[in-house]
A and B are shown apart, each in its own frame.
Chain A
């Protein structure tokens, strides 16, 4: 059974600081997703990582995937208040493209002024 572990689960940051959220998973997969969820809202797709070594960046967020280590990271650069949300990683359990996702528990990020 695929297990997806995120850490930390809670993260309180000051504006302007950098931090990394980690996502470990237990079985082989070449497909990993990062989502953002604001309170009371649905999930917004941030990144799709499709191969070993994939790196994607959008604004202050950068995601990477190391399939050998079964690890993905979401790096936050110079955090701003607008980044406050819950961030989920999700892994395609087939390792391929059946889109059946197993989610981590989420990281609740709070960025303080």
Chain B
């Protein structure tokens, strides 16, 4: 299994501001992923974060809006930039290990 922690667990932000979400894993992993779960919806992959290279973004997500860092094999950050109410979601990081993908507890973001 994998033990994943995220900070903050929740936040309320004003529109136009930015929030950086941190994800920490208990041991080294090659690939980390960021997902978004909008209220009452399913999960959508935002990007894949690989250590030592630029993140790979999925269709509909861009680096200017969701910059990602991956400074080492146990840590990643996702920034939600210039937020609007439409960014209100749960943001989850996940890691792949032993043929399974594990998810962190999520960061619940409300943008006013």
Contact = CB atoms under 8 A, between A and B. Distances in A.
B92 A42 contact: yes
Range of interface residues on A (Cβ < 8 Å): 10 to 19
Given A42-B104, A45-B100, A48-B100, A99 B43 contact: no
Nearest to B95: A99
B105 A99 contact: no
A71 B6 CA distance: 34
B101 A42 contact: no
A100 B100 contact: no
Q: Which of A43, A50, A90, A97 has the largest number of chain B CB atoms within 10 A?
A: A43
Contact of A105 (B33, B42, B92): B42
A88 interface: yes
A101 B104 contact: no
Contact of B103 (A43, A48, A100): A43
The interface size bin for chain B is 10 to 19
B79 to A, nearest CB: 21
A25 interface: no
B5 to A, nearest CB: 11
B48 A88 contact: no
Interface in A40-98: 41-43, 45, 48, 50, 88, 90, 97
Nearest to B44: A103
A43 B101 CA distance: 10
Contacts of A106: 42
Contact of A45 (B33, B48, B102): B102
27 contacts: A33-B101, A35-B103, A41-B105, A42-B104, A43-B103, A45-B100, A45-B101, A45-B102, A48-B99, A48-B100, A50-B99, A88-B42, A90-B43, A99-B31, A99-B96, A99-B101, A100-B33, A100-B45, A100-B48, A100-B58, A101-B43, A101-B45, A101-B101, A103-B44, A105-B41, A105-B42, A106-B42
Which 8 pairs between the two chains have the least Cβ-Cβ distance?
A: A99-B96, A43-B103, A103-B42, A103-B43, A42-B105, A105-B42, A42-B103, A42-B106
